[in-house]
């Protein structure tokens, strides 16, 4: 595919890029008629970024993580991966974190209700949704992530001892599917107990 392919998803954005974009939007809202000197704006943004605490930056880090999930999601449908070294497809893949499991669940819902929404806006929305959840609402995702991590660590040990891992789909995908099936069974049991 050509470099200028219009179907290719927009590139991932870093936490700093989200920060600069936010600063630009705030500036436009405050003074829409004032033109901005790009060099001065970049320098001021950079200085402000350097003085921000980790807590202040965390919002933008979450947005960048969500953006990466969306980008990876859309790149799966776009076409083949970049050429390079051939990978061992049987190497266990790291499991997703609770946040990424959350994004995997809600990304399609956001895209289906807003088909024209950009990757960045989807990432912002997912980051905001995650940040607005309380610990008990995040618990199912973090628990599932912990189970996947446990399974991953076992798969890595098996892979290293055998030299290769079984399963064409990859152990991480198989582990995730198994954990999801177990969670569905747990939910069904809870519903049955509520009905009784």
Q: Domain locations in the chain?
A: 15-77, 92-160
Same fold, 15-77 and 92-160: yes
Instruction: Tell me the Cα Rg of the chain.
Output: 21
| pTM reported for the whole predicted model | 0.44
Tokens representing residue 191 in the block: 């519903």
- Fold adopted by 92-160: DNA Binding (I), subunit A (1.10.30)
Is residue 103 within 8 Å of residue 182, measured between CB atoms?
Answer: no
Average pLDDT on 55-64 reads: 86
In words, the CATH class of domain 15-77 is: mainly alpha
Non-local CB neighbours of 80 within 8 Å, separated by 6+ positions: none
CA atoms of 118 and 162, how far apart (whole Å) = 44
Lowest mean pLDDT among 75-79, 118-122, 130-134, 143-147: 75-79
Non-local CB neighbours of 66 within 8 Å, separated by 6+ positions: 99, 103, 122, 123, 124, 125, 126, 127, 130
Model pLDDT for residues 98-137, shown as the tens digit of each residue:
889 888 889 988 888 888 888 888 888 889 999 999 989 9
| pLDDT classification of 167: cutoffs 50, 70, 90 | very low
Average pLDDT on 13-30 reads: 84
Average pLDDT on 165-180 reads: 53
Which ranges constitute the DSSP H helices of 32-134?
Answer: 38-51, 54-78, 98-113, 119-132
Average pLDDT on 75-79 reads: 72
């Amino acid at each position: 595919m050509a470099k200028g392919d219009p179907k290719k998803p927009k590139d991932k954005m870093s936490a700093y890029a989200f920060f600069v974009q936010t600063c630009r939007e705030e500036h436009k809202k405050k003074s829409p008629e004032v033109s901005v000197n790009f060099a001065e704006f970049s320098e001021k943004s950079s200085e402000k970024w350097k003085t921000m605490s980790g807590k202040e930056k965390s919002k933008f880090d979450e947005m960048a993580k969500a953006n990466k999930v969306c980008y990876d999601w859309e790149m799966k449908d776009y076409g083949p991966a970049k050429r390079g070294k051939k990978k061992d497809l049987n190497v266990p893949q790291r499991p997703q974190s609770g946040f990424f499991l959350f994004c995997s669940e809600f990304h399609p819902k956001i895209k289906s209700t807003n088909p024209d929404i950009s990757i960045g806006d989807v990432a912002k929305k997912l980051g905001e949704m995650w940040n607005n959840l309380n610990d008990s609402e995040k618990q199912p995702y973090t628990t599932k992530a912990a189970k996947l991590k446990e399974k991953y660590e076992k798969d890595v040990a098996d892979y290293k001892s055998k030299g290769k891992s079984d399963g064409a789909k990859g152990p991480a995908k198989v582990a995730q599917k198994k954990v999801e099936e177990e969670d569905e069974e747990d939910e069904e049991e809870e519903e049955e107990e509520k009905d009784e």
